[in-house]
Amino acid sequence: MSTTHISAGKRSAVRSLLRLWPCVRPARNRLLFAALVAIVASCLSLVIPLVLKWMVDGPVADRDPSGVWLGALAVLLLGFAEALLFGFRRWLVARPLAEVEARMRADLYARLQRLPIAFHDRWPSGQLLSRGTTDLMIVRMFFQFPLTFLLVNAVTIAVGFVILFWQGWLLATVLLAPVVPLLALISFYEARFATASRRSQDQVGDLTTVVEESVLGIRIIKGFGRHRGQVRAFQELAGELRGTELLKARLLGIIWAVITVLPELAVGSVLVLGTVRVADGDLSAGTLVAFLSIALALRWPVESIGFLLAMSQETATATDRYFEVMDEPEEKDSASAGDRPGTAVPEGADGGGLRFEGVAFRYPDADPQAAPVLGGVDLEIRPGETMALVGGTGSGKTTLTALVPRLHEATAGRITLDGEDIAAMPRERLRSLVSVAFEEPTLFSATVAENVLMGIADGAAPGDGGHPPERRRGERDAGRSAALDRALDVAQAGFVHELPQGVDTEVGEQGLSLSGGQRQRLALARAVVGRPRFLVLDDPLSALDVHTEALVEAALRRVLADTTALVVAHRPSTVLLADRVALLSGGRISAVGTHQELLRTNAEYAWLMSGTDPVRAPRDGEDTGHGSDGELPEGTAR
């Protein structure tokens, strides 16, 4: 379980926040208008002290009750207008900001779909999940509240001080005095808060990973009685997060205290100095009331700056975390892939079928000193042929099959489909030609039909040409339904008709409401439903009982007859589906031939297939002397 944090490095919060500008661009007019409304509302609160001054120096001093009532009415109306305008501001931004958040989330999801498998191997899922949920929520709240109020409060404070200086420069200067120490202290604590904020958001990601893994692996956890250990691990991480949150709270407390105490001291000084000046007759009582009222009205804008800056720091962190994913390079088609006509060779001609030429591969995070998983694979699967791929555990069979749909990119050599280099093909086209079923059959929380029909391109079904749209749609649906029935038949997945809603039954998260064998049959149906030209199957029958396996094999034979296929096989029964067998050993294809030929002539193969070897059982990847020096055993073909 990874607790590795993706380091943010040193960065400027403002620069991070500026990266959000293109995302909120569609809502910018509303945001600006809402900010204006909030500024007007906030400045109305500064007019109230001026009304008070007028009341104290006018109707109160003159003992004029009707003037006092008029002043009270003015204060009431100003307060009412302020409340109304703040409500209007909230209404203005709510919908556009929800849309901004939804769009950013959709962009993140789309990006995750396009990022290479190597990225997903590296990143814990909880880290991605927390970026798509908590971090984006923080970003939305920033636009809703801190951003607007940092602006509104800055304008309110500026307007407030203009009025204060207009009323009397001496008292205004006393009020302004704490600004310099205030700024220095805030910037010191904000930097520490930014570090704590990054740590806490990364810890939320780690915690999400633990929760996700334990929910998905609940059967293993319960089966091995590991629930207490799991709870302990969770509590440890939750404890670390709690510690970081408490540190944040302490820092925020200090910032808050500094921001509150220094201005209070200034207000106290103004009160003393102002009273002395009123007593000396240098200042009217109304001016002092107005002064103190404005100073008190500015308290909230000043005090709130502490937590507004803290929220801005959190948003800068959330923005960095969001863009760390968005900045990752996507899977790229080669530069000329889109417009290159391809170098296709007609089916059946020399160079047709599936060919591996000097294909090498090393995982990006593998030890650079270690030998690559694949060191130079040469293999030809003729058009219409089924080739079984056999090799010891960890010899690289799954890795080799993953190179065909370009889930990983070969580090050297090339793979061709009917003579066309897959590196020069647009991925979409490549994946419409090649279908895959992996050893671990992954299903999605959707219906049986939706899971199987994922294997067919949207709208792809026979009978589309030259008809009106409704008829085409009808024919397409009928075509998809027929393809579904055929695929379920091939995969011997008739059990789906016994499910409560037949093919419309939801299979639950990851298809866990089905048995392992049932999931594997649906994964197989998904691989064959689109009648692919090339089929790559990674030990597709491993979870079936012998009777079902025999049935699926019989049906598979029919499918394999029409396609060029590479089938990873661990057992003789699967190997027998193939026309020929290739043995992967030491990162290369060390022998190719029929099952019988290899059984007779290749000790490693005989050992892998039967577990017995009259001479000696070779270890994984050990050179058996066959083919490694270029000499293939008798009956071996390339």
Q: How far is the CB of 431 from ligand ATP (least distance, A)?
A: 20
DSSP annotation string for 396-465: SHHHHHHHTTTSS--SEEEEEETTEEGGGS-HHHHHHHEEEE-SS----SSBHHHHHHTTS-TT--S--T
Q: How far is the CB of 394 from ligand ATP (least distance, A)?
A: 4
Return the number of the residue (56 or 569) whose C-beta is nearest ligand ATP: 569
Closest CA to 401 of 372, 436, 352: 436
CA Rg value for the chain: 36
Return the number of the residue (34 or 536) whose C-beta is nearest ligand ATP: 536
DSSP annotation string for 323-372: HHHHTSPPP---TTTTT-------TTSTT-SEEEEEEEE--TTS-TTSPP
- What is the strand order of the sheet 354-361 is part of? 374-381, 354-361, 412-417, 420-421
Return the number of the residue (163 or 377) whose C-beta is nearest ligand ATP: 377
Q: Where along the sequence are the contacts to ligand ATP (CB under 6 A)? A: 121, 363, 365-366, 373, 391, 393-399
Cα–Cα dist 186/252, whole Å: 10
Q: How far is the CB of 6 from ligand ATP (least distance, A)?
A: 18
Return the number of the residue (365 or 631) whose C-beta is nearest ligand ATP: 365
Q: How far is the CB of 520 from ligand ATP (least distance, A)?
A: 15
- In contact, 607 and 561? CB cutoff 8 Å: no
Give 435's strand partners. Answer: 535
Phi, psi of 332 (to 5 degrees): -115, 135
Q: How far is the CB of 483 from ligand ATP (least distance, A)?
A: 30
Return the number of the residue (119 or 189) whose C-beta is nearest ligand ATP: 119
Q: For residue 115, what are the CA distances in angstroms to 20, 70, 330, 407, 612? A: 21, 67, 5, 10, 44
Return the number of the residue (198 or 570) whose C-beta is nearest ligand ATP: 570
Cα–Cα dist 517/569, whole Å: 17
Return the number of the residue (376 or 479) whose C-beta is nearest ligand ATP: 376
Q: How far is the CB of 392 from ligand ATP (least distance, A)?
A: 7
Cα–Cα dist 291/277, whole Å: 13
Return the number of the residue (45 or 395) whose C-beta is nearest ligand ATP: 395
The answer for residues whose C-beta is within 8 angstroms of residue 396's C-beta and 6 or more apart is 361, 373, 374, 584, 587
Q: How far is CA 427 from the centre of its chain?
A: 21
Q: How far is the CB of 401 from ligand ATP (least distance, A)?
A: 8
Q: How far is the CB of 371 from ligand ATP (least distance, A)?
A: 10
Element (H, E) at 581: strand 580-585
Q: How far is the CB of 213 from ligand ATP (least distance, A)?
A: 17
Q: For residue 366, what are the CA distances in angstroms to 6, 122, 218, 369? A: 19, 12, 30, 9
- In contact, 399 and 373? CB cutoff 8 Å: yes
Return the number of the residue (145 or 363) whose C-beta is nearest ligand ATP: 363
Q: How far is the CB of 588 from ligand ATP (least distance, A)?
A: 13
- In contact, 195 and 5? CB cutoff 8 Å: no
3-state SS assignment for residue 10: coil
Q: How far is the CB of 502 from ligand ATP (least distance, A)?
A: 34
Q: How many CB atoms lie within 10 A of CB 296?
A: 11
